[in-house]
Amino acid sequence: MITCADIFWKNDTPYSTGFDDFYFNTEQSHEDSLYVYVNANQIPARISSKQKLLTIAETGFGTGLNFLLTAQQWLNKSSNGQQLHFISVEKQPLSHNDLKRALHQWKDFEPLSSKLLNQYPLACQGFHRLSFPDERITLTLIFGDALDSYKQLEASIDAWYLDGFSPSKNPDMWSPELFREIARLSKPGTTFSTFTSAGIVRRGLKAVGFEVKKQPGFGKKREMCLGTFIKNNAPQVDTKPWFSIPKPEQPTEVTIIGGGLSGCSSAYSLAQRGIKVRLIEKEQHLATAGSGNRQGALYAKLPVSPTKQGELHLTGFLHTVNLLKRKDPEQSFWSQCGVAQLATKENENKRQQELIDNGHYPDSLVQHKSDIELSEISGSVVSSSGLFFPTAGWVSPVDFCHLLAAHPNISIEQHDITNIEQVDHLWNLTTNNSKHLHCSHLIICNAELANQFKQTEHLPLKAIRGQVSITEDSADLPQLRTVVCGEGYISPAQGGKYCFGATFDLKGKQRDVTQYDHNRNLEKLKDALPEFHNALIGKNELLTGRTAFRCSTPDYMPVVGPAPIYSDFVETFGRLRKDKNWRFDGCTANHHPNLYLNTGHGSKGLITCPISAELLASMICNEPLPLPKTLIDAVNPARFIIKNLIRRAI
Ligand code: SAM
């Protein structure tokens, strides 16, 4: 759980009551931070050296002063084609208001500081990726303890800013375990600097492989220290080699099969990085299958206590909202109207009470409301109390896909790919009318059809039928102002129509819209919104609908990452059948070169596709990854092979 920092303001300088210290030098904040972090790590010279990707990591984001000072140097000295990736951890984030007050005093950081405020995440534990494409800057901001956060990071760091209050005031942070993680994320030539010259810090960094020097500190401070990484003195054994990720050369062009949310967001994330994308869709238009509904609810159903699935959904939800806010600030095809999640059953009521009592989520994300309050907020009488998500809402997935695919680096082609084969380092794609296409890198994003190829046929993907019902808006219907979820969901009217549903049919194969399913959707509506349902009586024959198939997996997590070579995995890790704790020292997992997957998003594509796309693009471009290691492993396509070996099913 994350608690915001308790700040006492002395004029415009924030003071942490928890750590009993100021966030920065009260008189010469910029000069001090430039001297201790930016210049001591030779950042200006590194930017001018035209290094393509410069990755800096920090302990203690605080007000973002170090980030903004670094960005200022970056904007003055970098050129097109260069990227800055700044990573920072923060255990007690400033509230949005405190950050606003801190940034308000520094006009020279505009407009980046305003953009930072706009994207500053809700106080939710975990990874948050902020993008500043005009500045060619990415900020991965991790809310959590430095050690826990850096244990979960996959990145290769060029320079470390070790901030985070002094070892005497904050002894827990400066631990040998944190120094080991810093070493794991460093490479020969990585530098560090810190305002402190405490022996515990110098000895700790030396012990893990840094050459450590002292130099005079800023102003009245006697000493600070800095240094360079030579080699890791504590090599670490990969305990799960089957989840290792190949590190390819960055491609100039990538081909993607599938033009739904997964394919379009993968294309967008790559296009943003300057990579040309050929997006292949077998139908005439994008988003005709699972991503083709008029409206989808944009919210994360949260577990009472964190689970991997809940963590992915929450991270993905925040990521999608951030992306939509940047790409469509007018909310022309989405709406941040709020989502009411009703407790229509007693066990759901208990679950929701527990969720609020546990306090894992901030008020700004989710609040408990009575039925009267929710009726008032939503615009129609609701049947029960429930949770309200003020920053959630709905999206038109079709329009979202079109917006993402409209990037100038993306070209769309219509083909039905029936076979893929790697020949001489190139993927050879065969179409249903025997045409051949070639590419170096390929991402498969075509939902349940992703296992139609022999390289991917082992993936346990399942199509789950769903039907939504659609009715015309009219004067005698209550005007919904928010999305309302019970057993189903309904969004405010869009384009003169209400869309509600959806059914969940594990076995159904039929594509037609049925009255039977309309009735099931009406039943769910009746349980949640009796007034709205009553107003629909007699209009049932006017209902239209749409049927689609969601692609699901046995663990309800998506499939995102490099495509494993099935036979190789079974042979290399076969020993798991006899001993699931076997240490495969030195074994590496083999993947189909430059073949990736992004599928299995079920009905959660709006919140899982954009973050998964960002994960894939970061893997393909060898950048810091936007999710914690546990989640990257949890979506790794190889997990099914490993689980099956352990339970001796193969
Ligand atoms: N770099 C910041 C800036 O530019 O504004 C100033 C950082 S302030 C001196 C130290 C920061 O470290 C505080 O925001 C504090 O909450 C954070 N911090 C302290 N202990 C931490 C820990 N164990 N993990 C993550 N952050 C921590």
Q: What is the pLDDT of residues 22-44, one digit of tens each?
A: 999 888 999 999 999 999 999 99
* In a shared domain, residues 457 and 470: no
Stretch 458-483: mean pLDDT, rounded?
95
**Beta strand pairing call for 159-162 and 191-194:** parallel
Same domain, 504 and 594: no
Structure confidence at residue 540 as a pLDDT band (50, 70, 90):
confident
Please choose from 26, 37, 173 the residue to mutate so as to test ligand 1's pocket, defined by most ligand atoms within 8 A of CB: 173
Q: Could you tell me if 500 and 631 lie in one domain? A: no
Is 148 a domain residue? yes
430: which 2 tokens? 């065969």
CA distance 279 to 113: 35
C-alpha separations of 374 from 219, 475, 479, 499, 528 in Å: 57, 22, 14, 20, 11
Amino acid residing at 413:
E
Tell which of 522, 552, 582 closes a domain.
552
For the chain, how big is the Rg over CA atoms in Å?
26
Q: Read off the pLDDT of each residue in 235-262 and give the average, rounded to a whole number.
A: 89
User: For ligand 1, what atom is nearest to the CA of residue 67?
Assistant: 4
Q: Are residues 384 and 522 in the same domain?
A: yes
Both 204 and 352 in one domain: the answer is no
Taking only the tens place, the pLDDT of each residue in 349-374 is: 999 999 999 999 999 999 999 999 99
Cα 493 to Cα 484: distance, rounded to the nearest angstrom: 12
Report pLDDT for 134. 96
Residue 322 lies in a domain: no
- The chain-wide mean pLDDT, for the chain, equals 96
Last residue within a domain, chosen from 208, 229, 250: 229
Nearest atom of ligand 1 to the alpha carbon of 65? 4
Same domain, 591 and 529: no
- CB neighbours of 534 closer than 8 A, spacing ≥ 6? none
pLDDT of residue 235: 64
Residue 38 is part of a domain; what is its CATH number?
3.40.50.150
CB 365 within 8 A of CB 389: yes
Extended strands (E) in 104-204: 126-132, 137-143, 159-162, 191-194
Ligand 1 atom closest to 161 (CA): 1
Domain that holds residue 606: 241-289+400-461+554-646
Residue 344 domain-assigned?
A: yes
Contacts of 393 (CB under 8 A, 6+ apart): 297, 298, 299, 334, 335, 336, 337, 338, 339, 482, 483
Distance CA 619, CA 597 (A): 12
Sorted by sequence, the CB contacts under 8 Å of residue 45 that are 6+ apart come out as none
Nearest to 570 by CA among 632, 636, 643, 629: 643
Average pLDDT over residues 197-202: 97
Q: Which has more pLDDT, 541 or 643? A: 643
Residue-wise pLDDT tens digits, 496-513: 999 999 999 888 888 899
Measure the CA–CA gap between 151 and 146, rounded to whole angstroms.
8
Domain assignment present for residue 601? The answer is yes
Together in a domain, 468 and 455: no
Q: What is the rounded distance in angstroms from the CA atom of residue 166 to the CA atom of residue 221?
A: 13
pLDDT score of 319: 98
| Mean pLDDT (whole number) for 90-104 | 97
Pocket test for ligand 1, best of 35, 170, 178, 195 (most atoms within 8 A of CB): 170
**CATH classification at residue 245:** 3.50.50.60
Question: How many structural domains is the chain composed of?
Answer: 3
Give the pLDDT of residue 611.
98
Q: Report yes or no on 330 lying in a domain.
A: no
Task: Identify the CATH number of the domain in which residue 510 sits.
Answer: 3.30.9.10
H helix runs in 281-422, sequence order: 308-327, 346-358, 371-378, 397-405
Please name the residue whose Cα sits nearest to atom 17 of ligand 1: 60
Residues 6+ apart with CB under 8 A from 624: 55, 85, 87, 140, 153, 154, 155, 156, 618
CA 275, CA 35: separation in Å to the nearest integer? Answer: 36
382 and 477 assigned to the same domain:
yes
Closest CA to 191 of 334, 43, 27: 43
Mean pLDDT of 254-275: 98
Q: Which amino acid is at 21?
A: D
Q: Please report which residue ranges of 163-260 form alpha helices under DSSP H.
A: 176-184, 199-207
* Structure letter (DSSP) for residue 535: H
Residues 6+ apart with CB under 8 A from 327: 403, 404
Instruction: Give the pLDDT band (50/70/90) at residue 12.
Output: confident
Residue 302 lies in a domain: no
User: What is the C-alpha to C-alpha distance for residues 155 and 148, in angstroms, rounded to an integer?
Assistant: 15
- Which pLDDT tens digit goes with each residue over 111-169? 999 999 999 999 999 999 999 999 999 999 999 999 999 999 999 999 999 999 999 99
Percent of residues, the chain, with pLDDT higher than 90? 91
pLDDT tier at 532, thresholds 50, 70, 90: very high
Pocket residue to mutate for ligand 1, from 2, 12, 92, most atoms within 8 A of Cβ? 92
Residue 320 within any structural domain of the chain:
no
Mean pLDDT value across residues 3-18: 93
Is residue 317 in some structural domain?
no
State whether residue 380 is helix, strand or coil: coil
Peptide bond into 44 cis (omega under 30): no
CA 29 / ligand 1 centre spacing (Å): 15
**Whether residue 145 is found in the same domain as residue 260:** no
Q: Within this chain, do residues 631 and 491 fall inside the same structural domain, yes or no?
A: no
27 and 88 co-located in one domain: yes
**pLDDT, mean of residues 552-562:** 98
pLDDT of 236 above 70: no
Alpha carbon of residue 122 to chain centroid: 14
**Taking CB atoms and a 6 Å cutoff, what residues make up the pocket around ligand 1?**
5, 23-24, 58-66, 89-92, 145-146, 163-165, 170, 173
Note the Cα 301 to chain centre separation in Å. 16
pTM over 0.95: yes
Q: pLDDT at position 237, please? A: 63
The answer to whether residues 19 and 140 belong to one domain is yes
User: What is the per-residue pLDDT for 637?
Assistant: 98
